[in-house]
A = this chain, B = another copy of it.
């Protein structure tokens, strides 16, 4: 049987039940953005890992080595942020093909160091090896958060407001800029940068982890159409999302208009935004918006609500139900 018939999650479901019996008390393994392990009386340990493969996740001639180093760490720190953790350190495995020279690697490690320095997260170890043809990078990141407080996907409650921490679809737009070789201007540069150099929402996660009325959280790596479903499945809830409330940047709107893209579809299905997606009690929305604005200059965008029901997303545009499929949004008749 070919892997594409069952997909990544189908593969994981084949083996993960067997490993569950090996779990000890208070250890949470496969199924959230990070694993959670007891560390001491006040803190839990969180661990995550992500692999970037050349010609699958990046094109070596399109992303600078500095950005690749930065992004390798960023996508992992975003998984820590997704549960509210503070980073402790990272581990880098890198498989280097012929033709990748020392100068390239120096630049890659400068990007790696820049984000490590920004989040005070040391590189603690790793593995360096040869590869036949493609550059492969694996980063494992560890972090900590207050004991028992890590935000899970499974806590969403009916009535919760669904929020995101920033504009959606910019990274997917950046990928389109790259694939369609659009000419460089301020707007396309902005989208490309969002694609190549995402910023993990560490400080926001560290704040949200302490708020009991935040019930569930993850980061947006595959697009909310896919990611929000993980929250809904884990929580046994439905959601209603209003397309008009999706935060879409002016840059993406302008480029989309020129290129005849549908920005809502990039926002919903594109992925790699690395914003936080979370649900909270509606009473917390306004105080949180004020707090984030004052403390971080950061807007919190409510985009819908959690409802009772089967784990499905009900998309709404101007009061009407729409359906999101492989070809984008379709109005119901």
Contacts and interface: CB of A to CB of B under 8 A. Distances in A.
Contacts of A127: 49-51, 138
Given A14-B106, A19-B116, A101-B3, A27 B130 contact: no
B27 A124 contact: yes
Please tell me how many copies of the chain the complex holds: 2
Nearest to A136: B136
Which secondary structure dominates where chain A touches chain B? mixed
Contacts of A142: 37, 47, 142
A89 B29 contact: yes
A93 B45 CA distance: 19
A179 interface: no
Nearest to A2: B101
Nearest to A55: B132
A215 to B, nearest CB: 22
Interface of A: 1-3, 5-6, 8, 11-12, 14-16, 18-20, 22-24, 27, 29-30, 34-35, 37, 39-41, 45, 47-51, 53-57, 88-89, 91, 93-96, 100-103, 105-106, 109, 112-113, 116-117, 120-134, 136, 138, 140, 142
Given A35-B125, A93-B138, A134-B134, 15 more contacts: A14-B102, A19-B113, A20-B122, A22-B120, A37-B89, A40-B40, A47-B142, A48-B91, A49-B91, A49-B127, A49-B138, A53-B132, A53-B136, A56-B132, A140-B140
